[in-house]
Amino acid sequence: MLILATALGAVIPFSYKAYDKMRFTKACARIDGELRQKRLEALMQDKDLPLSVIFEGEMTFNKESVSVVHFLFYSNGSVRPEGTLLLRRGIHVSLLEIT
């Protein structure tokens, strides 16, 4: 019984950390996918489309702390504003270049 308790004591924190990292990675991938999809939609529909990004965690855009970032994807493939979107939750960090 002591061996089982010791093993579980080591596995449970590791499992939580792995789960937390997986959730963070999926959230970042979802945001990246939405940014790419909106650019493609603007090009295909030949019209300018807005997109607001909200993230559960710390978010900075061009080194400024923000709670939401509003992008406008133009029909010519460009986006405004351009810059670096940093997403952080706990120890996990991801950078997305918006160009």
> For the segment 40-87, what is each residue's pLDDT rounded down to a tens digit?
999 999 999 999 999 999 999 999 999 999 999 999 999 999 999 999
For residues 16 and 1, the model is more confident at: 16
Tell me which DSSP letter residue 77 carries.
S
- The pair of three-digit structure tokens given for residue 49, joined into one six-digit string: 């489309």
Residue 81, token pair as written in the block: 């504003």
3 pLDDT above the threshold of 80:
no
Greatest distance between any 2 Cα atoms in the chain: 66
Name which of 67, 73, 81, 70 is nearest 36 in CA terms.
Answer: 73
**3-class SS of residue 7:** helix
Cα–Cα distance for residue pair 64/89, rounded to 1 Å: 16
